[in-house]
Structure 1
Amino acid sequence: MEITYPVNLDSCWMLCYSAKDKAVRALKENFIEGVDYQPLAQNGERTRGGQNKIDYYLSVSCLEYFIARKVRPVFDVYREVFHKTAEMLPKVSKSSAADKRRIAALEKELERTREALRWTRIIERQEVELKCSCFHYLVKTKQYDKWEEYRRTGIIKR
């Protein structure tokens, strides 16, 4: 989603003008409202003169021309930085999407591993219970006759 008027005039007028009112006057004289810029009244906020405060938001092309008309060196630096950033954004978003896919795959793998571990513990517990039941059956039916060997192994306390 692209924002049509991303730049607030308050953040850039001082690059080219000595006062904001001069910047606003130049904006209104040289650019088209609704195409190059959008004024937005701030409800409840007033300027020192008691008028409603208005924020002006510029399109990127308007900002470029607005700066280029007054201060060429500032515009050159801005343009270089802006275009380097614009070139990198698709790469960053692609790597971000790839990272998200990788994270999702790792989360699925982690969940499968947790489930396998849970089943392993259940099986181990059942195996121990089965061995205990078998041993108990052998002892109860007097089929187990190696008590001395059993005591020597340290399993049973004397």
Structure 2
Amino acid sequence: MNFSQNLAMVMVQSTEPFPVDFDNAWKWIGYFQKSDAKKALLNSGFIEGIDFQVLRSVPQNSKGGRPAKKLYLTVDCFKSFGMMAGTEKGKQIRQYFLECEKRVKEIIPAQNAELEKLRLEVALSQSRERLAAATQTLEGICPGLSALAFGKPEAIIEKERPTTVVQDAYGRSITYDGATITELTKRYGFGKGTKANNQCRAWIRSMGITQDQWIEEPAARITYKLPKEMLTILDQQFSQGRGQRQKLLGEMN
């Protein structure tokens, strides 16, 4: 097996501390005898356990004998040993590794950029999950509250209005079916706020509906409601454009 650029890259990317088999290394470098190569290696100042590793195996035959030794080198030791040999093959090996290092320098930034992109995507996904959970929690408390909490102050918060309960002399609950001025203001497009409520009241009066026709709902705070049956009349008047609604809203001269 000849040494090649691809083989050099495999060694550079290997997770093994001693990936180079000396039985191949001395041939790749250009030595003619393994014994000469081994002697040169051991006399070159390389340190066992740091630059190379010696593995001893017990003979498998019944006659016994000396344990066999196998040498394995680190990539740096292999490169240095090749340069020390002074052979053309040794120089070529060094060039292979230099090219590998150049490629690695190009690959690592690209990999880091991809990893950073993936990290940001994961962080964004987690943020979206947390936001969805927070939104669900806020909406459970009060519909529309999440929009207000997340930077939309113009959001209209709609919360189910509790029914006012009044008890008669026998302890039976009394409820009034109708709509408050705030609900009517929204229903007929006057907007919201005190001014809008006043405009809506004026429009209702222009329909001939007086204050006496409103229901007074006794509670801790008195609430006035327009009876449900009156809404049908107002809906008809609204659909036909009657009354002073447009004038009150400034939609006509």
Task: Give the alignment partner of residue 25 of structure 2, picking from 5, 12, 15.
Answer: 12
1:13 to 1:50, Cα distance in 2 relative to 1, 3 A: same
**8 Å CA contact retained: 2:82, 2:93:** no
Total equivalences in the alignment: 136
CA-to-aligned-CA distance 1:105-139 (integer Å, 9 cap, x gap): 332222222122222333444429x97843x738x
Shift of 1:82: 1.4
Task: Give the alignment partner of residue 46 of structure 1, picking from 38, 41, 58.
Answer: 58
1:63 to 1:5, Cα distance in 2 relative to 1, 3 A: farther
In 2, the alpha carbon distance for the partners of 1:62 and 1:78 equals: 10
State the partner residue of 1:64: 83
RMSD between aligned residues: 4.1
Shift of 1:18: 6.3
The one-letter code sitting in structure 2 at the alignment partner of 1:120 is T
In 1, the alpha carbon distance for the partners of 2:98 and 2:37 equals: 25
In 2, the alpha carbon distance for the partners of 1:115 and 1:4 equals: 43
Percent of aligned positions that are identical: 14
State the partner residue of 1:137: 163
Q: After TM superposition, which residue ranges in structure 1, 4 or more long, deviate above 6 angstroms?
A: 3-6
In 2, the alpha carbon distance for the partners of 1:9 and 1:55 equals: 5
Using the size of structure 2 for normalisation, the TM-score is 0.39
The one-letter code sitting in structure 2 at the alignment partner of 1:141 is Y
The one-letter code sitting in structure 2 at the alignment partner of 1:50 is R
In 1, the alpha carbon distance for the partners of 2:94 and 2:160 equals: 80
Using the size of structure 1 for normalisation, the TM-score is 0.56
1:123 to 1:22, Cα distance in 2 relative to 1, 3 A: same
Task: Give the alignment partner of residue 122 of structure 1, picking from 137, 154, 177.
Answer: 137
- Structure 2 residues without counterparts, runs of 5 or longer: 1-15, 145-156, 165-174, 179-227, 233-253
**8 Å CA contact retained: 2:41, 2:81:** no
1:98 to 1:41, Cα distance in 2 relative to 1, 3 A: same
In 2, the alpha carbon distance for the partners of 1:84 and 1:119 equals: 53
In 2, the alpha carbon distance for the partners of 1:4 and 1:108 equals: 35
State the partner residue of 1:82: 97
Shift of 1:51: 1.7
In 1, the alpha carbon distance for the partners of 2:177 and 2:51 equals: 97
The one-letter code sitting in structure 2 at the alignment partner of 1:109 is L
1:55 equivalent to 2:67? Answer no
In 2, the alpha carbon distance for the partners of 1:63 and 1:103 equals: 41
Higher RCO (Cα < 8 Å, 6 or more apart): 1
In 1, the alpha carbon distance for the partners of 2:27 and 2:137 equals: 70
1:21 to 1:56, Cα distance in 2 relative to 1, 3 A: farther
Residue aligned with 1:137, SS: coil
**8 Å CA contact retained: 1:46, 1:52:** yes
Shift of 1:89: 2.1
